[in-house]
Amino acid sequence: MKRILMGLFVFAFTLMSVTGAMASDKLIKGNMRIVIGSKSTGGDTYQNSSIIAEALSKKLGINVKVDAIGGSAGFRTIQRTGQDGTTVMIYHDQAYLGYLYGVKGYEEMFSTYKVGPLLAINPGNAYLVPKKSPYQSVDDIIDACGKGTQVRVAIQPGGVSEIGYTALKNAVSVKYPGKQENLVAVYTGSQADKNQLLFDGQADLINGSVQANEQYTRLPADDQKAMRFVWLTARNQTLEQANPEGMGKTSREELMQFVEPKAWVPYDDKTNFTFDKEFIFLYNKDIKPEIVEYLDNALAEIYAEGKIQQTQKKSFFIPDFMPSTKSAPYFKAKMERIKKIIDGMK
Amino acid sequence: MIHTVLADITPTFLILIPLGVFIGIFFGAIPGMTATMAVAVCLPLTYSLSLNEGLALLLGLYVGGISGGLVPAILLNIPGTPSSITTTFDGYPMTLKGEGEKALKVGIASSLFGGVFSMIILFFFAPALADVAIKFSYVEKFLIIFLALTVIASLSSNILFGVFSGALGVLLSLIGTYDISVGGNGETRLMFDFMVPYLEEGFSLLPVLIGLFGLATIFEEAAKGITEEDLSADLNLSNKVRFSWTVFKGQFINLFRSSAIGTFVGMLPGVGGSAASVLAYTQQKNFCKEPEKMGTGEPSGVIASESSNNGLTGGALIPLLSLGIPGDSTTAVLIGAFTLQGIQVGPLFIGDHLDTWYTMVIALAIANIAMFLIMFFAIKHIAKVITVPKYILFPIIIMMCVVGAYAINYGIMFDVWTLLIFGLFGYFCSKVGIEVAPLIIGFILGKSAEIYFVKSLESFGTLTIFFTKSPIAMFLWVLIFISLGYSIYSMVKTHQKKQEDAQK
């Protein structure tokens, strides 16, 4: 009995020493919590973050959990904690768009947080009309506003859906100066609410996504729920990287009809407005630089292995890794570009 | 097709459902933890499972989590989940009368009925009902919530105090930010600047609920003083009233109506489970022969509440599977299971994924049966909790409440303060005549009422739209007036009866 006990003691001691040595190799010890800027576990942020979390968990050998707590709560969380990398945030362009639109709880992200790596693009940010709508294209909508018809757009305020609305308003002003007031925002919440406004005839155009609305576009025209895409904000080059099968039963080729050059939303006289919805890591401002590097390296290795790209593409994301050193200036430039258009429409 | 479906029913599938139910019951039964939390916590596990196995686990958790809420509601007067609030109205008085085990079994059997009823409706009518659900816009949803709010009149012992308490509840629910995620302007209101860091998101529902009901009850007991002699005397299970199926005699209409209300409210995205149980309870109170007995330990109250909140399960899956829109907060998490597997849920989901659809219905059926078997036969042991001396039980409950409150938003200390503040507030409410039940109903429904009211006005620009929007809106007004009229009528009748009794 004594021998068994001694054996067990030696085994436990050895195990503790080995795991202790392994743990000392890890810069992030214990669990890692990824808070996301969305309260939904059914949306693209949760889906993409889960893919990243699973890959990081395997790579770093730690538990990584995604918590859908929403924008403001997420920001507060990483401001309060996370210097050691155990709490990080994944969000998308709304992180700075919210600030540009003056939404409470959204601070200037470059001075308040540490901007981490870019992870992926969701090329599915879309605008839809009822299938029976007289507007066949986004151009028809711009022209209708120009001719004095009021067009109501259902969006969620202060985010990615509003930037499309602002761009469309800008496009009306470029093509028909002074007529932009004919494009009216109907502020609402979830995708369900936006869809409902379309079903009720209270909106002529809604913000949606390829992922959430594709099935509605396949319904027969006499169905009250039937919709049609008219515009995807993604760049042509971005969508070209999506799987050829596209999403659901809508192929990539079919979706290409709703991006430039087929769908043209003038930014100015010469250029078209495009917007790729991109996902990034955000950290506590005082996060240790070695942790930032550690996560950058881990993600670089994950992307170099190539498996994550397949998973992301299967879920209609475009893999697009960019380390922290490059992503911060990249997003700063993107924010400046977007700021101009928002300021112009204020 | 049958072969494909049968192939999906693996031993793992069959094990995961009762396992999910079992874990879900615990989540539902612990104050502060909910079915939504159970599903959210276990969601990442589905990554390693196939879609059907993942759904089996999550549906088990869903059914178990919703059902588990009745245990603390009945035994401890603490609603385990927001939708079991009306279970406390009659369930706890039954426990005080020594009928705790009976109340639990009534609740469990009613939950089974509600769950199976809604599953049948889901299976046969999902796409058709989804088309009905989209007829309910902001206006109709506001009117449904308004109808649920009329229960305040029916539940109040003094209508003036009751309406005041309900309005106070609504006001408390509006503290915080008018969230942009519901289309609001992101501004905070009803608070001073120094409160913003704590109350930006308002008071969390569950700490308020547990504080007002559970903690306040404990404070009251503590104020009375606990002597060793009465530790378990009044709640001794040896004096218990045995459960008999005859309790359901004459309750079929109640069961059917409440399950139908639960299913119906469940299929309206954004209205929520608490509204379902509140509506079902009101209707039972309005239609039963002796409404004055409701709230004093009537099994029909437990039947109405529990059949409706389990009726919600199938109902909330209708818009999820037919429109891709979750019906309640738990199905909103459930959608994550599909997303993680890269599957689109939308109006063509059922047709495109018939095997998954059949497997889900089978999983729901098994989950309901498993819930019944686990709870019904384990309940006599669970019911023994009330025989635990209060000086041991109460600290444990307080600890569970604190842990639950802390956990609900993943570790926000202010939620624990909320629990204590509302515990004390609930204790003083009873001293000054503020009625807790109307207050909490106002609190639960206030936020949704505001959103749908404001959005209706923003969309249509006129108040008259509430009366003229659609035949559904007009019909809802009829129900609202009947509900209010009947509440006032029964109150006058009860008052007269009291006066007559006094004269005699």
From its phi and psi, is residue B98 left (phi > 0), alpha (psi between -120 and 50) or beta? left
A-B contacts at Cβ under 8 angstroms: 135
Is residue A188 within 8 A of residue A155, CB to CB? The reply is yes
The bridge status of strand B176-177 relative to strand B188-189 is antiparallel
**B178 → chain A, closest CA residue:** A104
Give the position of tokens 């009925």.
Answer: B113
For B192-217, the pLDDT digits (tens) are 888 888 888 899 888 898 898 888 88
* A50 contact B CB<8A: yes
- Taking contacts as CB-CB distances below 8 angstroms, the residues of chain A near B269 are 192
- What residues of chain A, 231 to 260, have a C-beta less than 8 Å from chain B? 247-248
* A136 contact B CB<8A: no
* A267 contact B CB<8A: no
- Is the C-alpha dihedral spanning B162, B163, B168, B169 positive or negative? positive
- Is the C-alpha dihedral spanning A151, A157, A161, A164 positive or negative? positive
B contact test, residue of A99, A200, A204 with most B CBs within 10 A: A200
- The angle formed by the CA atoms of residues B130, B132 and B339, to the nearest 5 degrees, is 20
pLDDT lower than 50: segments of chain A: 1-24
Chain B nearest C-alpha distance from A241 (Å): 18
The pTM of the full predicted model, rounded to 2 decimals, is: 0.86
**B199 → chain A, closest CA residue:** A73
Give me the pLDDT at residue B213, please: 85
Contact B200 A105 (CB under 8 A): yes
Query: What span, in angstroms and rounded, lies between the C-alpha atoms of A345 and A339?
Result: 10
Contact B200 A72 (CB under 8 A): yes
Give the position of tokens 């538990």.
Answer: A63
Contact A42 B186 (CB under 8 A): no
Give me the pLDDT at residue B16, please: 95
The bridge status of strand A87-91 relative to strand A32-36 is parallel
Query: What span, in angstroms and rounded, lies between the C-alpha atoms of B484 and A317?
Result: 52
- CA dihedral A245→A92→B452→B417, nearest 10 degrees, is 130
Partnered with residue A125 across adjacent β-strands are A209
Chain B nearest C-alpha distance from A194 (Å): 10
Helical H segments across chain A, by residue range:
2-25, 44-60, 71-80, 94-100, 109-112, 138-146, 160-175, 191-200, 210-213, 236-239, 252-255, 289-305, 307-314, 324-345
* B340 contact A CB<8A: yes
- Taking contacts as CB-CB distances below 8 angstroms, the residues of chain B near A103 are 180, 186
Contact B44 A41 (CB under 8 A): no
Give me the pLDDT at residue B307, please: 96
Partnered with residue A65 across adjacent β-strands are A33
Query: Which pLDDT tens digits describe chain B residue by residue (504 residues)?
Result: 667 777 778 899 999 999 999 999 988 888 777 888 888 888 888 878 888 999 999 999 999 999 999 998 998 888 878 888 899 999 999 998 888 889 999 999 999 999 999 999 999 999 899 999 999 999 999 999 999 888 787 777 788 888 999 999 999 999 998 888 788 888 889 998 888 888 888 998 888 988 988 888 888 888 887 665 554 445 555 555 677 888 899 899 999 999 999 999 999 887 777 888 989 998 888 888 887 888 889 999 999 999 999 999 999 999 999 988 888 888 888 888 888 777 888 899 998 889 899 999 999 999 999 999 999 988 878 777 777 787 888 888 888 888 888 877 777 889 999 999 999 999 999 888 898 888 988 998 899 899 999 999 988 889 999 999 999 999 999 999 988 888 888 778 877 877 887 777
Torsions phi, psi for A91 (to 5 deg): -145, 180
- Taking contacts as CB-CB distances below 8 angstroms, the residues of chain B near A197 are 137, 459
Which three-class secondary structure state does DSSP give residue B388?
coil
- Taking contacts as CB-CB distances below 8 angstroms, the residues of chain A near B324 are 212, 215
For B344-403, the pLDDT digits (tens) are 888 999 988 898 999 999 999 999 999 999 999 888 787 777 777 878 888 888 888 888
Partnered with residue A279 across adjacent β-strands are A120
The bridge status of strand A32-36 relative to strand A64-68 is parallel
Query: What span, in angstroms and rounded, lies between the C-alpha atoms of B168 and B428?
Result: 14
Give the position of tokens 């509003």.
Answer: A162
For residue A261, say if its preceding peptide bond is cis, omega within 30 degrees of 0.
Answer: yes
A contact test, residue of B344, B451, B452, B469 with most A CBs within 10 A: B344
* A29 contact B CB<8A: no
* A328 contact B CB<8A: no
Query: What span, in angstroms and rounded, lies between the C-alpha atoms of B324 and B368?
Result: 23
- What residues of chain A, 142 to 181, have a C-beta less than 8 Å from chain B? 156-159
Contact B347 A219 (CB under 8 A): yes
Give me the pLDDT at residue B387, please: 75
- What residues of chain A, 195 to 214, have a C-beta less than 8 Å from chain B? 195-197, 199-200, 202, 211-214
Query: What span, in angstroms and rounded, lies between the C-alpha atoms of B103 and B375?
Result: 13
For residue B109, count CB atoms less than 10 angstroms from its CB and return exposed for 0-12, middle for 13-18, buried for 19 or more.
buried
Chain-centroid distance of CA B490 in Å reads 26
* B128 contact A CB<8A: no
Give me the pLDDT at residue B142, please: 93
Which three-class secondary structure state does DSSP give residue A120?
strand
Cα first-last separation, chain B: 72
Contact A215 B200 (CB under 8 A): no
Is residue B437 within 8 A of residue B157, CB to CB? The reply is no
* A187 contact B CB<8A: yes
